[in-house]
């Protein structure tokens, strides 16, 4: 089968893992993520995943906390390891081979990040989950997604969100908002469109790595995308 992309970096938000809960990890959502990933892994797509931690802890926007920023950021990174472990279990429960990699050394639960090794896992058809973000404070998991995607030579970043794509303005506030099918990196900047944080976005732009923003909640979307169906919004040069 002709695949739209051979090697992908799927960015999943931690916040989405809450499902309908206020905090933590929702089982149904976890299984949904796993099933979506399995459906494309079975097609022969090489899948690397970066998962966020927003459902458990975020270091940013925490001005009134006694936990200072850097400490909070490390807590956020550890939260992504917890989510990564959960995603690994859910994938394994439906028969998908995975490797969990952590940017912060934690050898009892995850492999350290060794680029060539991560690529080898992908070549063998294992789903690679990158956790602990970039391993550095003051970054986000979007930056980690951009960085790892470039490092492993992914063809695209697939950013799974709760909305269908990138809009001219916030569709929840503005009923005239329209969705872009395609948009260039420059247009995103000129029109202050929200796709990723600036650090992550710049990394993608400088390395000419396309980003697809799509709705991950809808069953089958990921598969349709990889079969080449026009879906979500594509950012490219």
**Binding-site residues for ATP, please?**
11-14, 54, 58, 161, 167, 170
Q: Is 14 in the site for ligand UDP (CB under 6 A)?
A: yes
Do the Cβ atoms of 77 and 101 come closer than 8 Å?
no
C-beta of 52 vs 165, nearer to ligand UDP: 52
C-beta of 43 vs 60, nearer to ligand UDP: 60
Q: Is 137 in the site for ligand UDP (CB under 6 A)?
A: yes
Q: In this chain, which residue has its C-beta nearest to ligand UDP?
A: 52
C-beta of 182 vs 194, nearer to ligand UDP: 194
Query: Shortest Cβ distance from residue 2 to ligand UDP (Å)?
Result: 31
C-beta of 52 vs 232, nearer to ligand UDP: 52
**Which tokens go with 136?**
């550095």
C-beta of 25 vs 34, nearer to ligand UDP: 25
Q: Is 114 in the site for ligand UDP (CB under 6 A)?
A: no
| Piece of the chain touching ligand UDP by CB under 6 A; list 55-63, 173-181, 185-193, 203-211 | 55-63
Q: Is 144 in the site for ligand UDP (CB under 6 A)?
A: yes
Q: Is 140 in the site for ligand UDP (CB under 6 A)?
A: yes
Q: Taking the chain, what is the end-to-end CA distance rounded to the nearest angstrom? A: 27
Three-state SS string across the chain, please?
CCCCCCEEEEEECCHHHHCCCCCCCCHHHHHHHHHHHHHHHCCCCEEEEEECCCCCCCCCCCCCCCCCHHHHHHHHHHHHHHHHHHHHHHHHHCCCCEEEEECCCCCCCCEECCHHHHHHHHHCCCEEEEECCCCCCCCCHHHHHHHHHHHCCCCEEEEEECCCCCECCCCCCCCCCCECCEEEHHHHHHCCCCCCCHHHHHHHHHCCCCEEEEECCCCCHHHHHHCCCCCCEEEEC
> CA nearest 39: which of 173, 230, 225, 202?
225
List binders of ligand UDP among 56-85 (CB under 6 A): 58-60, 72-73, 76-77, 79-80
C-beta of 25 vs 47, nearer to ligand UDP: 25
| Piece of the chain touching ligand UDP by CB under 6 A; list 50-58, 118-126, 186-194, 229-237 | 50-58
Contact positions vs ligand UDP (CB under 6 A): 13-15, 52-54, 58-60, 72-73, 76-77, 79-80, 133-134, 136-137, 139-141, 143-144
């Amino acid at each position: 089968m002709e695949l739209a992309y051979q090697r992908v970096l799927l960015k999943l938000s931690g916040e989405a893992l809450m499902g309908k809960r206020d905090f933590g990890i929702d089982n149904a959502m976890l299984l949904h993520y796993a099933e979506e990933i399995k459906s494309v892994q079975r097609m022969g797509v090489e899948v690397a995943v970066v998962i966020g931690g927003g459902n458990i802890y975020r270091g940013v926007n925490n001005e009134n906390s006694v936990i200072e920023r850097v400490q909070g950021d490390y807590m956020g990174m550890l939260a992504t390891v917890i989510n990564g472990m959960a995603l690994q279990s859910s994938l394994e429960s439906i028969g998908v081979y995975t490797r969990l990699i952590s940017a912060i050394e934690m050898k009892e639960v995850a492999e350290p990040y060794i680029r060539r090794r991560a690529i080898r896992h992908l070549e063998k058809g294992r789903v690679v989950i990158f956790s602990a973000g970039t391993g550095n404070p003051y970054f986000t998991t979007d930056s980690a997604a951009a960085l790892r995607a470039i490092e492993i030579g992914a063809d695209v970043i697939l950013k799974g969100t709760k909305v269908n794509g990138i809009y001219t303005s916030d569709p929840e506030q503005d009923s005239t908002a329209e969705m872009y099918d395609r948009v260039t990196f420059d247009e995103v900047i000129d029109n202050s469109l929200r796709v990723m944080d600036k650090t992550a976005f710049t990394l993608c732009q400088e390395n000419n790595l396309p980003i697809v923003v799509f709705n991950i909640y809808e069953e089958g979307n990921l598969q349709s995308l990889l079969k080449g169906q026009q879906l979500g919004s594509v950012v490219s040069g």
